[in-house]
Amino acid sequence: MTTALNGGGRPPGALPGTLVVEWSAGRPGAYAGKLLRGLGAEVVLLEPPAGGRDAALGPGPIPTHDAELAARIRFLHGGKQSLTFDPADARSREIAGAVLARADILLLQRPLAEAEHAAMRPEDLAARWPNLIVVTMTLAGLRGEQRYWRQSDLVAHAIGGTAFATPARVPDPATYPPLKPGGYQADYTTGLTAANAALLGLQLRRRTGAGQLIDVSAQATLASYMRMDVAYRTYGMGDAMNISGLSRQSLTGRPSTIWGLVPCKDGYFAFQATEQYQWDGLMRMMGDPAWAKDSRFQDPVERAARWDEIEPHFVGWFADRTKRDIFHAGQAEHVPVFPCFNVEELVRDEQQVARAFFVDLPADDGARLIKVPGAVVHLERTPWQPSFDPPAPGEHTEALAQRFAAVGAP
């Protein structure tokens, strides 16, 4: 039975009547498809035969032995339709071609060599169906010698610059090695970028009637967040931040400001004292301590240079105070002071609860609920809608073949 586009009383969303085909090999493509599905698009998965699924999502149907993997499949593939796609089989190619001929968007996140071997070269697809918006997601883009490199979250962070910048720029990389940020930020950010790019492609096609090939690079996606670091390097400023992240260099290379994270009774809090009034407010918050009146700490540049002398006073004062206490004290003095949330605190944050950002994903056993991120952007008239009922691999193959009149081999 074909999954209904807007069944179950779902509002139509912002993309009614939009047909998206997704041929992905991991989280980036799956997440892009999920985002468009939540906006009301119909999303058809091209999946390998014999119940296979990509490595990031595991093989075959939803597993009963792995709750984490099951939740990931439900989160990423809920509400989609599944079409078995075997490039070596003529009828499978015909059915996929019939769907693509009617599709608005193709989300293509496969290794380039694999796509070419399957006669799915992105440039050829765009030429064959001029109205189709072909959005590719690769590690390094479709040009250059690295275009055939396989994609992974770890490698994207490594070549995108973010691993070197985590937790901050350091003067001696040999002493402080690069770190991969937690989770799968490269994968999901690439998927988000691809979904946005697809929407831009739709906007252009509505004006001109033409589709286009859109090349999304995971490396470039992450590098785009490194704008300040690139600027510092470009203008000969060297490393932008020290390892603690508590002093930033000015154009002369001297530290000029104080900001960062400091431990407290129940974790960490973030503060900023880049302006004199912010520093003055911090000192009032701390009870105008005697040490702050030292002449060495009056000039902002010298104060930042002497952070090692100031830090023990901060740590000692904040050690017995909670993030909530510090936050309210800082607000009273108009100082930028904010708690550094762990995941549990983020999920329970009253602001996120008020905004209804996190939504409940039913566990496989039906007895438990798992909190997962919902809509980042709220559309009042056409709200984004979560879907957590994924298709069985190949479930909709025959229904799609009949619907698009691809009923036999050529």
On the question of pLDDT at 198 being above 90, the answer is yes
CB-CB contact of 169 with 229 (8 Å): yes
Peptide bond into 167 cis (omega under 30): yes
Distance CA 143, CA 150 (A): 14
Distance CA 379, CA 43 (A): 20
pLDDT (tens digit, 9 = 90+) per residue, 270-285?
A: 888 888 899 999 999 9
pLDDT (tens digit, 9 = 90+) per residue, 3-55?
A: 334 444 556 789 999 999 999 989 999 999 999 999 999 999 999 886 566 65
Would you state the structure tokens that stand for residue 350, as one six-digit string?
């009253």
Mean pLDDT in the chain? 83
CB-CB contact of 185 with 158 (8 Å): no
Per-residue pLDDT at 28: 95
Per-residue pLDDT at 368: 72
pLDDT (tens digit, 9 = 90+) per residue, 231-277?
A: 656 665 544 443 334 444 433 444 567 787 888 999 998 888 888 89
pLDDT (tens digit, 9 = 90+) per residue, 283-328?
A: 999 999 999 999 988 888 888 888 888 888 888 898 999 999 999 9
Residue 389 or residue 64, greater confidence: 389
Distance CA 122, CA 334 (A): 53
Counting residues of the chain whose pLDDT is more than 70, the rounded percentage is 82
> In the predicted model, what is the mean pLDDT of residues 181-208?
93
Taking the alpha carbons at both ends of the chain, their separation in whole angstroms is 25
- Which amino acid is it at 188? Y
On the question of pLDDT at 357 being above 70, the answer is yes
- 282: DSSP letter: H
Residue listed under structure tokens 């690439």: 190
Is the C-alpha dihedral spanning 29, 125, 38, 1 positive or negative? negative
Which SS3 state, helix, strand or coil, does residue 356 take? coil
Window from 146-160, 182-196, 325-339 with minimum mean pLDDT: 146-160
- Which amino acid is it at 122? P
On the question of pLDDT at 407 being above 60, the answer is no
On the question of pLDDT at 129 being above 70, the answer is yes
Phi and psi at 280, nearest 5°, equal -60, -40
- Which amino acid is it at 135? V
pTM of the model: 0.84
Q: Which CATH class is domain 265-346?
A: alpha beta
Distance CA 3, CA 80 (A): 7
On the question of pLDDT at 56 being above 70, the answer is no
CB-CB contact of 34 with 46 (8 Å): no
Residue listed under structure tokens 């468009």: 36
Residue 108 or residue 59, greater confidence: 108
Per-residue pLDDT at 136: 96
Query: According to CATH, where is 3.40.50.10540 located in the chain?
Result: 19-225+357-403
Query: According to CATH, where is 3.30.1540 located in the chain?
Result: 265-346
Per-residue pLDDT at 122: 94
> In the predicted model, what is the mean pLDDT of residues 344-357?
89
Distance CA 122, CA 112 (A): 9
Out of 3.30.9.10, 3.40.50.920, 3.30.420.10, 3.40.50.10540, select the CATH number for domain 19-225+357-403. 3.40.50.10540
CB-CB contact of 269 with 260 (8 Å): no
Torsion of Cα atoms, 334 then 335 then 340 then 345, to 10°? -10
Q: Which of 257, 319, 329 is nearest to 286 (CA)?
A: 329
pLDDT (tens digit, 9 = 90+) per residue, 160-171?
A: 877 777 766 555
Per-residue pLDDT at 225: 80
On the question of pLDDT at 120 being above 90, the answer is yes
Per-residue pLDDT at 262: 85
> In the predicted model, what is the mean pLDDT of residues 196-219?
94
